[in-house]
Amino acid sequence: MKLLILIRADASQSIGSGHIMRCLTFAERLLVRGGEVVFVCRDLPGNLSEYIRSQGFEVHLLPLDEACDLALRRPEQVWSKTRSEADAEQTMGVLKKYGRRIDWLIVDHYGIDHHWQSLLRGGVGHTLVIDDLANRRHDCDVLLDQNYYHNAADRYHGLVPKDCSLFLGPQYLLLRNEFYKAREDMKIRTGEVYNILVFYGGADATNETEKCLTGLMDYLGSTIEIHVVTGQSNPNKDRIKDICTSRRNLYYHCQVSNIAELMNNADLAFGAGGATTWERCFLGLPSVVTVTAENQMETTQAVSELGAIWNLGWYEKVNVNALVKVAERFLMEPNKLEGMQKKALDLVGVRGSSGIEQLVEAISQRRVN
């Protein structure tokens, strides 16, 4: 009998696409090992259900209701017990449709804690949580946090069961196959900048993309290629597209399937913190990072202190002038970009995220300790 895996994760214009994208990476790896993977997502504005289906996975949409308002306004806030119970009941309704026990429940959601997870325990064999906040208790067998922190080993003390297996650090990066292929042909950068990538995540709710473009266009003119990427859920994508079509050196891309190729072609990137930080590091792409969500702060600062990225700080304090200054600095001092590439690659290791392969294999064989 096939291994049956259910993933509970959401995407929206405020939540962004990161949770779904890293779960899709997990799902693809489990699929090739013979697993059956289904997604359960809330029908939020900007959800990625159609994209998930286009990748070959079944999606069950939970209805949008008034209680979802908080999730839209405060995506990082843990749900109330009442909200957890309501969502868990709806999710259990999906489980029952399969008429068998779910082998693995994978949860990647900032709103969900041990209350929700405990309610699902009876219908699942094992529970795996993907997290990076370490701000709430979990009832799980496995916890995965792929980020780098100074105190990684201590962050989840007291937040997970004593027998929970912890998989912590960049050696467990969830990267799509396109990144491994791009790594084989990775660009060796000299520090000279001819191609810039601008990508602030799929939704970019704070519109950092337009802010960055304003600065780069004012300073660079038309001398350097600038590739701009948005997601389908970006509310400003049409305006950004219009800006790009007004300049011959600006190239617009929306909801791409070749982001690794675009990263590999670039000499410098401007983007947000979060999962794309690790994608850029994996390909040795020097990057200027703006923190656009509270959950990005700790990791962005820690990675910046290692010299693997340049941290501009909290988005509200980043203006056009700050972007121009950092662009000027790196164009004038190419050796700094060359050094950043080396430190980024050192951080993820020679083999990149080989550790995640061991975890996926263990899950597919039902033998995680």
User: pLDDT tens across 228-281, in order?
Assistant: 999 988 999 999 999 999 999 999 999 999 999 999 999 999 999 998 999 999
The answer to whether 38 and 57 are in contact (CB under 8 A) is yes
For residue 131, the model assigns a pLDDT of 96
pLDDT of 353 higher than 60: no
Give me the DSSP letters along 19-33: HHHHHHHHHHHHHHT
Domain with CATH 3.40.50.11190 in the chain: 4-174+353-364
Q: What is the pLDDT of residues 119-163, one digit of tens each?
A: 999 999 999 999 999 999 999 999 999 999 988 889 999 999 999
For residue 71, the model assigns a pLDDT of 57
Q: What is the overall mean pLDDT for the chain?
A: 92
d(CA 106, CA 28): 13
The side-by-side arrangement of strands in the sheet containing 124-130 is 58-62, 36-42, 4-9, 102-108, 124-130, 142-145, 165-168
Domain with CATH 3.40.50.2000 in the chain: 178-348
Classify domain 178-348 at the CATH topology level.
Rossmann fold (3.40.50)
pLDDT of 339 higher than 60: yes
Q: What is the pLDDT of residues 55-70, one digit of tens each?
A: 999 999 999 876 665 5
Residue type at 170? P
DSSP class of residue 80 equals P
Nearest by Cα to 196 from 251, 247, 233, 148: 251
The answer to whether 49 and 41 are in contact (CB under 8 A) is yes
d(CA 182, CA 117): 37
Give me the DSSP letters along 113-142: -HHHHHHHGGGEEEEEEE-S---S----SE
- Mean pLDDT of the 321-325 span: 96
Nearest by Cα to 226 from 259, 193, 190: 193
pLDDT of 351 higher than 60: no
Residue type at 311? N
For residue 368, the model assigns a pLDDT of 64
Task: Please state the pTM of the whole predicted model.
Answer: 0.88
For residue 69, the model assigns a pLDDT of 59
For residue 354, the model assigns a pLDDT of 65
Classify domain 4-174+353-364 at the CATH topology level.
Rossmann fold (3.40.50)
Written in H, E and C, the secondary structure of the chain is: CCCEEEEEECCECCCECHHHHHHHHHHHHHHHCCCEEEEEEECCCCCCHHHHHHCCCEEEEECCCHHHHHHHHCCCCCCCHHHHHHHHHHHHHHHHCCCCCEEEEEEECCCCCHHHHHHHHHHEEEEEEECCCCCCCCCCCEEEECCCCCCHHHCCCCCCCCCCEEEECHHHCCCCHHHHHHHHCCCCCCCCCCEEEEECCCCCCCCHHHHHHHHHHHHHCCCCEEEEEECCCCCCHHHHHHHHHCCCCEEEEECCCCHHHHHHHCCEEEEECCHHHHHHHHCCCCEEEEECCHHHHHHHHHHHHCCCCEEEEEHHHCCHHHHHHHHHHHHHCHHHHHHHHHHHHHHHCCCCCHHHHHHHHHHHCCCCC
